[in-house]
């Protein structure tokens, strides 16, 4: 008993004499803490320099897209510039369908990709879900359908906000409730499928980077702040954005909610939504099965 007490006393004396003890701190003052702080800072700086490209993409993508859309695209739309005085419909009316599409996209991705990134993490919470009496593809489909429900609610919440917030009244006129419902369902399933792709194929540590280099660009270049028809003055961009699924979400909602504004024909919008949903769903399911089985 006395030997253990002596050992504790000796350990206490050693800590006081050691580099972390009060005696050492009193002797060297705040210098040791400044060196430690600087050491940690330089370590993080070195790690950042090794990942300088992802860092630049993360911090520079949004300002770059703001400049590209509002200083390059809109000024070149001539009379179709929605922010020009006397250009026809108000800017709020033009972006209403686009904001609904953005709400669908972000809600769908967040409802699938973010939970999957944690479920596939070290705790492997996904194993509890796949033990239910359902095939694995049905578990993935449930996630997509549940996210689609949240996306539709998010899109419908945009409408009352657009009526009461803008200074210039928003002129929305639902020409076909069936078309609106169909576009909402297809767009929400598309967003959930994209979330499944991201959540099942991207490393959880890179989810934030994916939002910066994929989600934000397809939003800015998805005919949210302008119409697809208005890009006629920039032909190369009008063709390039056809590979962006959110374009068809925005234009489909524009055809249903604000039919008086120039938009894509419905016979081009609906097949594109179906094709993108099927392709992303297949890719997401393949990634989901691969992550679960491994």
Q: What is the pLDDT of residue 87?
A: 52
Our measurement of the distance from residue 71's CA atom to the centroid of its chain's CA atoms, rounded to an integer in Å, reads 24
Closest CA to 254 of 269, 242, 239, 271: 269
Instruction: Report whether pLDDT(11) > 90.
Output: no
12-33 per-position pLDDT tens digit:
444 444 444 455 545 555 677 6
State the chain's mean pLDDT as an integer. Answer: 79
Instruction: Report whether pLDDT(195) > 60.
Output: yes
Closest CA to 214 of 235, 230, 191: 191
| Upper half-sphere CA count for residue 40 (Cβ side, 13 Å) | 5
Instruction: Report whether pLDDT(234) > 80.
Output: yes
One DSSP character per residue, 73-110 reads IGGGGGGG-TTSTTSSS-HHHHHHHHHHHHHHHHHHHH
Q: Domain ranges in the chain?
A: 1-50, 57-293
Question: Please, what is the Cα angle at 96 between 91 and 99, to 5 degrees?
Answer: 115
Our measurement of the distance from residue 203's CA atom to the centroid of its chain's CA atoms, rounded to an integer in Å, reads 15
Closest CA to 106 of 31, 157, 160: 157
Q: What is the pLDDT of residue 39?
A: 74
Instruction: Report whether pLDDT(97) > 70.
Output: yes
């Amino acid at each position: 008993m006395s030997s253990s007490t002596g050992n504790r006393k000796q350990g206490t004396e050693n800590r006081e004499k050691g580099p972390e003890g009060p005696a050492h701190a009193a002797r060297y003052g705040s210098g040791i803490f400044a060196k430690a702080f600087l050491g940690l800072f330089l370590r993080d700086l070195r790690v950042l320099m090794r990942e300088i490209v992802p860092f630049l993409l993360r911090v520079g993508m949004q300002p770059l897209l703001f400049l590209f859309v509002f200083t390059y695209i809109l000024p070149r739309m001539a009379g179709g510039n929605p922010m020009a005085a006397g250009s026809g419909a108000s800017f709020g009316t033009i972006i209403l369908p686009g904001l609904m599409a953005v709400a669908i996209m972000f809600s769908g991705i967040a409802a699938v990709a973010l939970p999957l990134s944690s479920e596939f993490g070290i705790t492997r919470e996904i194993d509890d879900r796949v033990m239910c009496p359902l095939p694995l593809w049905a578990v993935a489909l449930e996630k997509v359908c549940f996210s689609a429900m949240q996306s539709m609610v998010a899109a419908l919440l945009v409408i009352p906000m657009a009526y009461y917030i803008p200074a210039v009244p928003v002129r929305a006129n639902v020409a076909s409730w069936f078309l609106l419902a169909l576009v909402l369902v297809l767009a929400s399933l598309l967003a959930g499928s994209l979330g499944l792709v991201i959540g099942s194929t991207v490393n959880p540590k890179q989810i934030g980077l994916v939002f910066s280099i994929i989600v934000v660009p397809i939003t800015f270049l998805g005919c949210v702040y302008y119409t697809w028809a208005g890009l006629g003055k920039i032909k190369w961009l009008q063709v390039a954005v056809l590979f962006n699924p959110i374009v068809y979400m925005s234009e489909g909602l524009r055809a249903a909610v604000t039919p008086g504004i120039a938009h894509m024909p419905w016979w081009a919008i609906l097949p594109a939504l179906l094709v993108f949903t099927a392709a992303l769903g297949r890719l997401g399911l393949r990634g989901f099965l691969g992550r679960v089985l491994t």
